[in-house]
Copies of this chain bind each other. A is one copy, B any other.
Amino acid sequence: MKKPVTINDIARELNITAATVSRALSNHREISAATKEIVRQAAIRLDYNPNKVASSLRSGKTNIIGVLIPTAEHIFFGSVIHGISNAASMNGYEVLIYQSNESEQFEKKGINAFLNARVDGILASIAKDTRDFSHFSYVKEKNVPIAFFDRFNDSLGISSVCIDDYRGAFLAAESLIKEGYKRIAYISGPLHIKTFSERVRGYKDALEQYDMNFDPGLIYNGDISIEAGRNAIKAFFKLERKPDAICAVEDFTALGALKELKGMGINVPGDVGVIGFCNDLFSEHISPSLSTVDQQTVAMGEEAFELIHKLIKDGHKNQRVHRKVLEPIIVLRESSKRT
């Protein structure tokens, strides 16, 4: 690897100083237009690429955002990253990715890597296995801007972007009620994650508001997986009083439920209605097509970038916690349409 050209090389070539070259290239106003032009041409001629590492060391800014996600293998996070990354590019930032693989240990490693890399800010979505949140508090103590997206924890005084999970689940349950379903069960995700506990709350409140009696036996503590959906159905249909509709914490869970119901010869949506949450890509294309709640993933990514960008720019000044809440969009398809 031959040595890259530096501003010193340009300076030597033009018999000026490196400082002038630096200023000319950053379009400083106290440099004559003529000099700027000469420098720019020399930069091109010598094939100069500014060294961002040196610049970062000097300025204390890397213009890099660290993004911590549970996994890149789920399109939900891919979409959010799509939003974050494009917004970042447009604002002169780059994006460093780290996967926690849903493990607290890797999550801590990722945070550490980001701090060592001196990223200007961190966007994180919490791993399912995480019970100790001290690494996030640590970031905050270090005064490194940080915000959560989707999976957050509101007891840490850290800003976040998410959709209104409570309202999303409320709308989902309500839509089943309005279709005439009478015994609506809920398949939940891990409840220590706020995102998921809020959804259960939304489901319960919808039942209450429509004067349907709530049966704790109709809540299954599951997970975001096809398997959890199948198991939930198996459990529900051993009950004496079986449900006639399923509200699932996530589309994969709903998919598992659908498959298991199909396997049992139960008609969806005729006998049992199903609604998911996420609006994953497959939801529209399975049959019956899956009713669900759209999470506005790309918008969430864009908002997440805006938020961290604001926190970075504000520095110490505006320390208050921001909570951006996006409106969930209910998407009604075949799986919950009785009529």
| Contacts from A to B (Cβ < 8 Å) | 1-2, 4, 49-54, 56-57, 62, 64, 71-75, 77-79, 81-82, 85-86, 89, 94-99, 101, 106, 109, 112-113, 115-118, 142-144, 255, 259, 281-282, 285-287, 298, 315-316
Q: How many copies does the complex hold?
A: 2
A116 with B75, Cβ < 8 A, contacts A109-B89, A315-B1 known: no
- Interface centre among A62, A118, A282, A285, by most chain B C-beta atoms within 10 angstroms, is A285
For the complex of A and B, the 5 pairs showing the least CB-CB separation, nearest first, are A282-B282, A78-B78, A1-B143, A72-B82, A73-B82
CB pair A53 B287 closer than 8 Å = no
Q: Which residue of B lies closest to A85 (CB)?
A: B99
A231 CA / B113 CA spacing, docked (Å): 48
Please indicate the chain B residues that have their CB under 8 angstroms from the CB of A255 in the complex.
285
For A75, A113, A287, which residue has the most chain B Cβ atoms within 10 angstroms? A75
User: Could you tell me if B72 and A62 are in contact, using CB atoms closer than 8 angstroms?
Assistant: no
A117 to B316, CA, bound (A): 27
Known A1-B315, A286-B286; further 7 A-B contacts with Cβ < 8 A: A1-B316, A52-B117, A72-B82, A85-B97, A95-B98, A282-B282, A282-B285
CB distance from A64 to the nearest CB of B (A): 8
| A–B pairs, 14, beta carbons within 8 Å | A1-B143, A49-B115, A51-B118, A72-B82, A75-B78, A85-B98, A89-B109, A94-B98, A95-B96, A281-B282, A282-B282, A282-B285, A286-B286, A286-B287
Minimal beta-carbon separation of A42 from chain B (angstroms): 18
With A and B bound together, what is the CA distance between A77 and B74 in angstroms? 11
> CA of A96 to CA of B73 in the docked complex: distance in angstroms?
17
Give the Cβ gap from A280 to chain B, nearest Cβ, in Å. 8
Q: Which of chain B's residues have a CB closer than 8 A to the CB of A62? A: 53
The minimal Cβ–Cβ distance linking A301 to chain B, given in whole angstroms, is 9
A263 to chain B, nearest CB (A): 13
Which residues of B have CB within 8 Å of A1? Answer: 142-144, 315-316
Query: Which of chain B's residues has its CB closest to A141's CB?
Result: B47
Q: Provide the bound-state CA to CA distance between A96 and B144, in Å.
A: 19
A102 to chain B, nearest CB (A): 12
Contact of A57 among B57, B71, B282, B316 (CB under 8 A): B57
In the bound complex, residues from chain B placing their C-beta under 8 Å from that of A77 are 78
Q: Give bound CA distance, A59 to B298, whole Å.
A: 38
Give the residues in chain B near A259, CB-CB below 8 Å.
285
Q: Determine whether the beta carbon of B109 is less than 8 Å from that of A49.
A: no
Residues of B close to A78: CB separation below 8 A = 72-75, 77-78
Verify A86–B57 contact, CB threshold 8 A. Answer: no
Question: What residues on B are CB-neighbors of A94 within 8 Å?
Answer: 96, 98, 113, 117
Task: Provide the residues of chain B in CB contact with A79, threshold 8 Å.
Answer: 72-73
**What is the distance, in angstroms, from A296's C-beta to the closest C-beta of chain B?**
13
Complex-state Cα separation, A71 to B315, whole angstroms: 31
Contact of B53 with A117 in the complex, beta carbons under 8 Å: yes
Chain B residues closer than 8 Å to A85, beta-carbon distance: 72, 97-99
What are the residues of chain B within 8 A of A113 when measuring CB–CB? 94
| A99 vs B94: C-alpha distance when bound (angstroms) | 10
B286 contacts A73, C-beta separation under 8 Å: no
